[in-house]
Structure 1
Amino acid sequence: MISSAKQRITWVDMAKALGIIAVVVGHSINSERSGHLFDVTYDALYWWHMPLFFIIGGFFLKPLAHDWKAVRHFLSRRCKPLIVSYFLMGSILILVSHFIRHQGWSYTGFYFFRLLYGGQTLNNYLSIFWFITVYVLTLIVVIILISWVPSVLLQWVISLSLFAIGTIHQQPSFLGHPYFPWDAQVVSITTTYMLAGYYGFRLLTSISHKYMILLAIAAFYLLLIRDQFNGIINFNLYLKSDNLNHTGLALIAPLVLSLGVLLLSQKICEIKFLQWLLLWGRHTMPVMFLHRALFDMPGLLNLPDYWLIKCLFGLLVPILAILIWKRFKHLLTWHHSPKQYANI
């Protein structure tokens, strides 16, 4: 059972690694979207990479006991660290952006108010921060569903109803403002993804004929990409901007493609020389927070402003920083630990 638990965590980390790599690649090619191939690649990545993280977020949820102690424990353990990271890293990056991009203090000061409001008001270094607030709000909604709605059928009815409302009423205004605080309206869509992760996790290890399923999902993905490239379909799924134009595909494609990523991750974990990918899966948050700021580094170092170079900086620098920090902590601990001497 211990071995099984370790394997389960490993393939989940591998799936997160594939997801975060896709996020960085998608953001790095955004400036290249004038080319049709890049434009289709960008769309194809967005069909699954952000939904994948909401699906994984449902894996380890458990219904809460019906008392305030359990609620407080959930909020302090699952939600508070994310909110603290959101404001801490957001504040640091606002100041970094001020000096790197030579922004005025009026712009920087107002950005702190934008950080409070969140969602679509955030851009540049903080453009990915919408994910944190939507993720926290989705956790809360799904916990309410699985803890206080006893009927599984009713949970799905509520979730899918929210999904329908979210896809019908896209980009609603909030008290006359064009953007919702914390991108809260996106929760109506992401709730279904996370609930699918909650109920689907227990099925993932018991699926048989995984290679055949992977082949079918790959064929489905390639057909979607082909039709998108040829203009047969025009399928957009941009969660931050609450912009999707095909309700059926927005429901089915992320779930099917994420299933493919999860099954592929289980297979990749069996390949020893690909274990290094787990570094990204175990440190998704630093990469998520920092990669947009690191896209400025090639320009600062007089390197070509090419998407692949930006992508490498966004992926490698956070991991290198983490490895150096861990090495430093290890040396510091070793230096201050009591020495053991052999008796002669």
Structure 2
Amino acid sequence: MATTKRRITWVDIAKALGIIAVVFGHAIDSERDIRSFDLVYDAIYWWHMPLFFIIGGFFLKPISHSWEAVRQFWARRCKPLVVSYFLMGSLLIVLSHFVRNQDWSYTAFYFVRLLYGGRTLNHYLSIFWFINVYILTLIVVVLLISYVRSVVLQWVISLMMFAMGTIHQQPAFLGHPYFPWDAQDVLLTTTYMLAGYYGFRLLHSLSHKYLLLLAIGVFSMFLIHDQLTQKINFTLYLKSDSLNHTGLALIAPLILCLGVILISQIMSELKWFHWLVLWGQHTVLIMFWHRALFDLPELLGLPDHWLLKCLMGLFIPILVMMVWKQFRHFLIHHSPKQFASS
């Protein structure tokens, strides 16, 4: 039981580190004319979105070859994300209309863009592409591990998809510049999620974790140094389906994410980092709302500073969630039935 609890804790901490990196990366986007911010921005994008696909593979299971199994998989893993996508997307479209003074024709057409998804989404919904690609990747990987028995063949298929994704970047779809739901990104993200599915089983058997973490640290420093001195120009932007180094796009995210996972495991053993678990449990909520909250400093007459935007994007969704839970707790324990029974 203790092992299971520890495992859940470090996974939540890893997700928390990922969502902090997502919010921070978006907050400093406007500062990229400064070389140091541009370097940090690129370095964050090497790992933060692949991390969520890797973690998404941790708890996947093959499904049996029946329609009932497919239905249960859809109901448990995909349908909640689809409902959240359209519900939160609709709320944010309406909110954006009033906050940004957009005309009704723009707002009405944005609902069409919500259906199409992917790179057509911007402003408050710019991160929603992730939910599109995450759902599609879940489906592809589950089909792969369920219907392709050979593990070697699974990896061959996955790596062939990855190669296709790097060769045919930003392909058109029936004359449209963007694929619906950024479906072409699944060619890349399938490998990351499959690595999470098989890698999770190996994490418990890893020895010399601190030595391994040191090696990953050295690799990271060399990568950052080469990027800083312009020996390489490695970019990995999954949303725009843009990468310029196939080998690094495959290897670097896996190595860096392993480093984040090892750090999360160490942090989970230190009780004073457990406050991060709350962020890890609500990554989807923060992902949905942080871009809208970036407008809050300007609306409140506060400085439009990247740090203030970052703090608001991270803390306000958690505060709202905590207030909502307290309110629900109050309603449950002070319902009319209770007064009647007392």
Query: What interval of TM-score do these two structures reach, taking the shorter chain for normalisation?
Result: over 0.9
1:3 aligned partner = 2
What's 2:277 paired with? 278
Amino acid at match of 1:5: T
Structure 2 distance, partners of 1:278, 1:95, is: 31
Q: Which residue of 1 aligns with 2:115?
A: 116
User: Is 1:202 aligned to residue 191 of structure 2?
Assistant: no
| Structure 1 counterpart of 2:52 | 53
What CA deviation, in whole Å up to 9, does each residue of 1:187-217 have, x standing for no partner? 0000000000000001112211111111111
Which residue identity does 1:243 align to in structure 2? Answer: S
In structure 2, how many angstroms separate the alpha carbons of the residues matched to 1:321 and 1:223?
A: 41
**1:98-148: CA deviation from partner (whole Å, max 9, x where unpaired):** 000000001101111111111000000000000001000001100111000
Residue 262 (structure 1) aligned with residue 261 (structure 2): yes
What residue in structure 1 maps to residue 76 of structure 2? Answer: 77
Letter in 1 for 2:174: L
Equivalence for 2:294: 295
SS at match of 1:305: coil
In the other structure, the counterpart of 1:144 is 143
Q: Who is 2:303 aligned against?
A: 304
- The aligned runs of 1:126-205 (5 Å cut-off) are 126-205=125-204
SS of match in other structure, 2:275: helix
Cα deviation for residue 3 of structure 1 reads 1.5
What CA deviation, in whole Å up to 9, does each residue of 1:32-71 have, x standing for no partner?
0010100000000000000000000000000010111000
Q: Aligned equivalents of 2:338 and 2:268: distance in 1?
A: 38
* SS of equivalent residue, structure 2 residue 20: helix
CA–CA distance in structure 2, aligned partners of residues 291 and 184 of structure 1: 24
1:102 partner letter = N
What corresponds to 1:20 in structure 2?
19
**Which residue type is aligned with residue 287 of structure 2?**
M
Cα distance in 1, alignment partners of residues 243 and 224 from structure 2: 16
Percent identity over paired residues: 70
**In the alignment, what sits opposite 1:313?**
312
* AA matched with 1:95: V
Q: Kindly provide the amino acid, as one letter, of the partner of residue 156 in structure 2.
A: V
Residue of structure 2 equivalent to 1:223: 222
Q: Which runs of 4+ in 1 moved over 4 A?
A: none
Measure, in 1, the Cα distance between the counterparts of 2:116 and 2:332. Answer: 41
Q: Distance in 2 between matches of 1:43 and 1:270?
A: 30
Corresponding position: 1:39 with 2:41: no
- Residues in 2 aligned to 1:83 and 1:107: alpha-carbon distance in whole angstroms: 23
Question: Partners of 2:262 and 2:272 in 1: how far apart?
Answer: 18
Task: Report the Cα offset of residue 11 of structure 1.
Answer: 0.6
- Between the aligned partners of 1:331 and 1:100, the Cα distance in structure 2 is 32
For 2:228 and 2:34, locate their aligned partners in 1 and report how far apart those are by CA, in whole Å.
11
Cα-to-partner distance string for 1:224-258 (whole Å, 9 max, x where unaligned): 11111111110000000000000000000000000
Paired residue type of 2:49 = M
Structure 1 stretches of 5 or more lacking a match?
A: none
Q: Report how far residue 275 of structure 1 moved.
A: 1.0
1:88 is matched with 87
Give secondary structure in 1 for the equivalent of 2:274. helix
TM-score (norm 1): 0.97
Aligned residues: 341
Correspondence for 1:332: 331
Q: Which amino acid aligns with 1:122?
A: L
Q: Distance in 1 between matches of 2:334 and 2:208?
A: 52
How far does residue 338 in structure 1 lie from its aligned partner after superposition? Answer: 3.7
Amino acid at match of 2:9: T
Q: Supply the AA of the counterpart residue of 1:246.
A: H
Q: In the alignment, what sits opposite 2:212? A: 213
Counterpart secondary structure, 1:268: helix
Q: Describe the superposition over 1:152-196 as per-residue Cα deviations: whole angstroms up to 9, x where unpaired.
A: 000000000000000000000000110000000000000000000
SS in structure 1 of the partner of residue 102 of structure 2: coil
Q: Name the structure 1 match of 2:233.
A: 234
Cα distance in 2 between the residues matched to 1:89 and 1:142: 26
